[in-house]
Amino acid sequence: MKALLSRAPGGPETLELAEAPDPVAGPGQVVIDIRACAINYPDVLVIEDKYQFKPQRPFAPGGEIAGTISGVGDAAGDWQVGDRALAMIGNGGLAEKAVVDVARLYRLPEGRSFAEGSALLLTYATTIHALLDRGRLQAGQTLLVLGAAGGVGLAAIELGKAFGARVVAAVSSEEKAEAARTAGADEVLIYPRAPFDKDQSKALAEQFKAAVGKDGADVIYDPVGGDYAEPALRSIAWEGRYLVVGFPAGIPKLPLNLTLLKSCDVCGVFWGAFAARDPAANAAHVATLFQLWGEGRISPRVTETFPLARGGDAIAKMAARGAIGKLVVEVGADTTDLSI
């Protein structure tokens, strides 16, 4: 099979399209012929050896896939060759085939494309865990979403609205603002590009405060970090929850006196560890996501696709924070074919 391999730490330009051995399903596993692999920010970090997990090289990045089962091992339950499935696999998605434990598999509903299926799990499962478990979001509360036009940002807008929140979306351009409005944001603000000096940081804090209202944001969803974090925290409500999701703009250093003044919580969000530690709770969240997806209340937005040979370009665009919605690498033929 063909795979886009990382042989040494480096950027997307170091990835090499090469032949790799076809995988074989063991007990409790299947082989998936991958048709689509969504790109996420961990793919930027893992090839540079900057992610918390470091796969043994050579490996293919890409952890969010959809495709068709082509091989079934023993004790694989009711999975059969030809079934359409989606899965989170950590890495190995930028390849023509992958072995997947059946515990990680979900059926791709009829009428949904492989590209759309590949774009569901990571962003929405991270976000539902963040908003409900860590953020304790309630109907009628105000949710401020930073980086609101990215994959997790749009997921936060949609899920926030599904759970009855007032959603304020913060983005860096008018094009991204329109994407946030289309996703259902009640209000959108456009912030400048970091870095910020002291006066610029203060001005951004006032912009956030004006957008969320005098009572502040009950929940702040931050997949951006960097110089945006402190101004956002200054807009939090009394006993609000600040959700730490990611750091493409850098790892911030927050003044902890703000948490005392607002009696607020700063909450880390690590969906992968949550799913491993409490699989039953994660399965319940995923079931909710599939229900909302079926009802049309959430819908992964795939804005650009790339062939496997250009998978590095997709990762580079993610690294440059140029993506709106989800970027997907189409691996096999007929990625938009809805038939089995």
Looking at residue 339, its pLDDT comes to: 29
Report domain extents, the chain: 2-120+301-330, 122-272
pLDDT of residue 141: 98
Six-digit token string for 271:
């969906």
Average pLDDT over residues 194-222: 96
Question: Of 340, 299, 329, 314, nearest to 116 (Cα)?
Answer: 299
pLDDT given for residue 333 in this prediction: 56
CATH, domain range 2-120+301-330:
3.90.180.10
| Mean pLDDT on 24-31 | 96
Residue 105: pLDDT band by 50, 70, 90 thresholds? Answer: very high
| Percent residues over pLDDT 70 in the chain | 98
Confidence at 323, pLDDT banded by 50, 70, 90: confident
2-120+301-330 and 122-272: same fold? no
Q: What is the mean pLDDT of residues 16-27?
A: 95
* Superfamily for the 122-272 domain: NAD(P)-binding Rossmann-like Domain (3.40.50.720)
The string of DSSP letters for 88-128 reads E-SS--SBSEEEEEGGGEEEPPTT--HHHHHTTHHHHHHHH
pLDDT exceeds cutoff 90 at 52: no
State how far the Cα of 150 lies from the Cα of 322, in Å rounded to an integer: 9
pLDDT tens digits, 56-90? 999 999 999 999 999 999 999 999 999 999 999 98
Q: How confident is the model at residue 332 (pLDDT cuts 50, 70, 90)?
A: confident
Section 302-318 average pLDDT: 95
**CA–CA separation, 131 and 161 (whole Å):** 11
Tens of pLDDT, residues 158-179: 999 999 999 999 999 999 999 9
pLDDT at 249: 87
Give the residue carrying structure tokens 């850098």: 250
Find the length of the chain: 340
